[in-house]
Chains A and B, each alone.
Chain A
Amino acid sequence: MTELERKQDRAPIPSGWEYATAPESREIVQLRERYGHFVGGEWLEPKESYATIDPASEEPLAEIGQATDEEVGLAVSAAREAFENGWSALPGSERAKYLFRIARVLQERSREFAVLESLNGGKPIRESRDVDLPLAAAHFFYYAGWADKLEYAFPNRKPQPLGVAGQIIPWNFPLLMLAWKIAPALAAGNTVVLKPAETTPLSALLFCDVLRQAELPPGVVNIVTGDGRAGAALVKAEVDKVAFTGSTDVGKAIQRELAGTGKKLTLELGGKAANVIFDDAALDQAVEGIINGIYFNQGHVCCAGSRLLVQESIYEPVISKLKRRLQTLRVGDPLDKNTDVGAINSRAQLEKIEELVRSGEEEGAEIYQPPCRLPEKGYWFVPTVFTNVAQSYRIAQEEIFGPVLSVLTFRTPDEAVEKANNTPYGLSAGVWTEKGSRILSMAQKLRAGVIWANTYNRFDPSSPFGGYKESGFGREGGRHGLEPYLKFE
């Protein structure tokens, strides 16, 4: 540690800083009391329903349908009919224009969607406004351009759509995951039935209004809501392809369910990414990368940098800088523009985080949490760092999916690779060093689908995303993201 750093450590903690609240108005969002399933361009009155809530206040927002097997079947039939009666025969250039329209409407209504996303999911408005919405619109814009160029993406392979795609998405990036699923499926000429996550259905339901404005033919996109039972029904239904983003356990169950059926499957599952900091890294940038890696979206990120691997020689300054930076994170109202860390998405998720954090303490790791006042209602968890973590601890092995960082150390690059790869997952990894040859060497040796070097948690529609090993298979994004939605001669 330098003299300056020692001095800074004694400086008053920045959490003493006071901010005036800067809430984004929720006026812009008009919610209906209840929502049905969106099937064949119409709202289908659900047989069963449940309440979706605002996780920051636990207040109910609307009644949502819990799709039955029969309702899922109706949605799949509507998608099949739309596929056979027009959509698959539509020239790619026309499909493209629908997708461009959707992208534009999303851009036009982006603030409305951003507020709704934060309201229903608990994520900070700064993130839904600056990350989720621009990326969702960009995804439609990107794949729109592919719709009439498929034969250039796959020369000599005569790409054809598969038919009906059943798509199941998680609650961490509800609208963005919808865009990741629907945009390439439609560009390739398929129709879809999409099931948003149980806790975050509202942006997908509002998206149906975007489809109305874009005048997308009825049945091309169908939305059914509900919990895992609705997802299971969709997997078993007469769909030609299943795309799932979610937990590794559910992914395995889906893969087992589809065994022997010949249905196409892509899985984007869990992760336990290593974020590797070498002693020659630009430390302040690296600390920002660590923070962004694990506290972005409350750590509800499958590719979160949840295992920090620090080279021993810089362990102390990194931890001290990290703790100081942690004190500046503002936890609270997702709709406040100052908020860095919003609400945990659900009570169930909060309980899972609490359980794993307890296990970390019991197994012998040292916990650090900055002083932090949490709102009285809603689901919250203080950004947490564990040091003294052994590789065998559950907090170093299992995906926590919350704002909890486990810190491990290494001495040599080989040891860093060994530890980083010591997981059944392989979704992403981070590397921080100023040495170019070391970046490329690490990028080669880390067994993960996305490597962020001197950055973290970057996403782009042109950039393929997906896992190695038990983090799943198939890619989303880029030219590669089209392939799972096509068949070839």
Chain B
Amino acid sequence: MSRLPVRKTYKLFIGGEFPRSESGRTYEAEGQNVARASRKDVRDAVRAARGAFGKWSGMTAYNRGQVLYRIAEMMEARRAEFANFCSGPKEVERSIDRVVWYAGWADKLAQVLGSSNPVAGPYFNFTVPEPTGVVGILAPPEPALLGLVSRVAPAIVGGNSVVVVASEPHPLAAVELAEVLATADVPGGVVNILTGRLEELAPVLAGHMDVNALDVSGADGEVAELERLAAENVKRVVRGDADDQSPWEIAGFLELKTVWHPIGV
């Protein structure tokens, strides 16, 4: 007698936990019922991200790099599952390698993007990159896994916490990634993943007053209204690439802080 497989419930990922949508709604995608997040879920996710920001941004860069590398390790262990939720093993491998690539950036950003500034006076003056805070990410519809990883990794490696709206047609890779993150030493709330209708969730994220930056890489064409909403608290708006790796992708989510101190005896 063949065994009946145990199915998975596809839920949200907020503050390190896996709740259903508070609205009790789902939608069908890739043959599964997937949680359909509400505006309230967005707000809860932003609150979780803000709560996690201090700890994550306060970790040493070396430590953050190790956590990212740990994500890659956990992904490697789930290669087969991931391959079912994207274009196949090649995309999974590229995604894992991309996470490793970004992991290595954590403790190099300050040296590449920062500077020591020779001001005309008796002052020591230096500039360091710092995370901008909570970043809202509209993940590209596809590639389902590589697009998601290409947007999330550069945002978190610099110390930001993120709220991601997963690809609406291909959300399962994101849910799978959430399960990886939950077991990869990523502090709860650093990455929050919502599945649901982009049209419903994107404006809420874009207009949220406690979100510091908005990545519109996954917005379908019409970004003007989202950018208008983002202006309400002067959000940094990033239009990133769904398949690119570069330190400049990280820089879009960073602030530059300049510190002065007198030199004297």
Interface presence of B225 (CB below 8 A)? yes
From A248, A259, A468, A475, B224 is in contact (CB under 8 Å) with A259
Q: CB < 8 Å: which of A256, A460, A464 contacts B256?
A: A464
Please tell me if the beta carbons of B231 and A252 are within 8 angstroms of each other in the complex. yes
A-binding segment of B33-41, B90-98, B111-119: B111-119
Cβ-based interface call for A451 (8 A): yes
Is there contact, CB below 8 Å, between A455 and B120?
no
Bound-complex Cα distance A448 to B118 (A): 21
**Residues in A whose Cβ lies below 8 Å from that of B222:** 260
Q: Using Cβ atoms and an 8 Å threshold, which residues of chain A touch B233? A: 424, 469-470
Does A472 have its Cβ within 8 Å of any Cβ on chain B?
yes
Q: Given A138-B120, A458-B121, A480-B115, A465 and B234 touching (CB < 8 A)?
A: no
Complex Cα spacing A29 to B241, Å: 54
**Residue on B with the closest CB to A457?**
B260
A267 contacts B258, CB within 8 Å?
A: no
Select the residue from B115, B118, B256, B262 with max chain A CB neighbours within 10 A.
B256
How many angstroms from the CA of A468 to the CA of B257 in the assembled complex? 9
**Closest Cβ neighbor of B233 among chain A residues:** A470
Interface residue? B259 (CB, 8 A): yes
Interface residues of A in 434-457 (CB under 8 A from B): 439, 443, 447-455
Q: Please tell me if the beta carbons of A455 and B261 are within 8 angstroms of each other in the complex.
A: yes
- Binary interface encoding of chain B residues 224-237 relative to chain A, with 1 for a CB under 8 A from any of its CBs, else 0: 11111011111010
Give bound CA distance, A454 to B118, whole Å.
Answer: 18
Q: Among A251, A259, A449, A455, point to the contact of B123 (Cβ < 8 A).
A: A455
- Asked whether B236 lies within 8 Å of A473 as measured between CB atoms, the reply is yes
Q: Which residues of B contact A464 (CB under 8 A)?
A: 115, 117, 127, 256, 258
- The answer on a CB contact under 8 Å between A451 and B232 is no
CB distance from B13 to the nearest CB of A (A): 27
The smallest beta-carbon distance between B210 and chain A, in angstroms, is 10
Given the complex, which residues of B lie within 8 Å of A475, measured CB to CB? 256
- B212 in contact (CB, < 8 A): yes
Minimum C-beta distance from B12 to chain A (A): 28
Using Cβ atoms and an 8 Å threshold, which residues of chain B touch A157?
A: 248
> B132 an interface residue at 8 Å Cβ cutoff?
yes
Return A265 CB to nearest CB of chain B, in Å: 9
A449 touches B260 (CB 8 A): no
Which of the residues A258, A269, A450, A454 comes within 8 Å of B262, measured between beta carbons?
Answer: A454
A213 contacts across to B, CB distance below 8 A: none
Contact status B261-A439, CB under 8 Å = yes
Q: Is B227 touching A450 in the complex (CB atoms < 8 A)?
A: no
Q: Does chain A have a CB within 8 A of B184?
A: no
Q: Kindly identify which residue among B118, B234, B259, B262 contacts A470, using a CB–CB cutoff of 8 Å.
A: B234
Q: Across the interface, do A451 and B257 meet the contact criterion of CB distance under 8 Å?
A: yes
Given A259-B228, A460-B121, A473-B234, residue A478 in contact with residue B257 (CB < 8 A): no
* A175: min CB distance to chain B, Å: 18
Cβ of A466 within 8 Å of any chain B Cβ, yes or no, is: yes
Residues of A within 8 A of B121 (CB): 458, 460
Asked if A300 is at the interface (CB within 8 A of a chain B CB), the reply is no
Interface residues of B in 191-240 (CB under 8 A from A): 212, 222-228, 230-234, 236
Residues on B with beta carbons closer than 8 Å to the beta carbon of A252: 231-232, 234
Task: Check if A260 sits within 8 Å of B223, measured CB to CB.
Answer: yes
Return the chain B residue nearest A456 by Cβ: B260
A33 to B212, CA, bound (A): 48
Determine how close the nearest CB of chain A comes to the CB of B174; give it in whole angstroms: 26
* B255 at the binding interface (Cβ < 8 Å): yes
B26 lies within 8 A of chain A by Cβ:
no
* CB of A397 within 8 Å of the partner chain: no
B66 at the interface (CB under 8 A from A): no
Complex CA gap A439/B126 in Å reads 14
B245 within 8 A of A: no
- Residues in B neighbouring A449, C-beta threshold 8 A: 255-258
Min Cβ gap A447→B in Å is: 8
Q: How far is the CB of A269 from chain B (nearest CB, A)?
A: 7
A106 to chain B minimum Cβ distance, whole angstroms, is 15
Are B260 and A269 closer than 8 Å at their CB atoms? Answer: no
Contacts of B119 in A (CB 8 A): 458, 460, 462-463
What is the CA–CA distance of A453 and B127 in the complex, to the nearest angstrom? 14
Chain B contacts for A251, CB-based, 8 A: 234
User: How far does the Cβ of B80 sit from chain A's closest Cβ, in whole Å?
Assistant: 37
Q: Would you call A454 and B261 a contact (CB within 8 A)? A: yes
Within 8 A of A (CB), among B17-39: none
Q: How distant is the Cα of A256 from the Cα of B228 in the complex, in angstroms?
A: 5
B-chain residues with CB within 8 Å of residue A470 when the two chains form the complex: 233-234
Determine if A458 and B223 form an interchain contact, defined as CB atoms under 8 angstroms apart: no
Distance A401 CA – B118 CA, assembled complex (angstroms):
30
Interface assignment of A152: CB less than 8 Å from any CB of chain B: no
Q: Is the CB of A453 within 8 A of B261?
A: yes
> How distant is the Cα of A472 from the Cα of B125 in the complex, in angstroms?
21
CB neighbours (8 Å) of A462 from chain B are 117-120, 125
State whether the Cβ of A479 lies closer than 8 Å to any Cβ in chain B: yes
Given contacts A463-B260, A466-B256, contact A255 B115 (CB under 8 A): no
| Minimal beta-carbon separation of B16 from chain A (angstroms) | 24
Interface contact B125-A269, CB-CB below 8 Å? no
The smallest C-beta distance from A478 to any residue of chain B, in angstroms, reads: 6
In the bound complex, what is the Cα–Cα distance between A246 and B86 (angstroms)?
47
A-B contact pairs, 18 of them (CB 8 A): A253-B231, A255-B231, A260-B223, A260-B227, A267-B234, A449-B255, A453-B261, A454-B262, A455-B261, A458-B260, A463-B119, A463-B127, A463-B260, A464-B256, A468-B132, A473-B234, A475-B256, A478-B117
Which residues of A are at the interface with B, using a C-beta cutoff of 8 A?
A: 138, 157, 248, 251-253, 255-256, 258-261, 267, 269, 424, 439, 443, 447-455, 458, 460, 462-466, 468-473, 475, 478-480, 488
Q: Which residues of B contact A (CB under 8 A)?
A: 115, 117-121, 123, 125, 127, 132-133, 212, 222-228, 230-234, 236, 248, 255-262
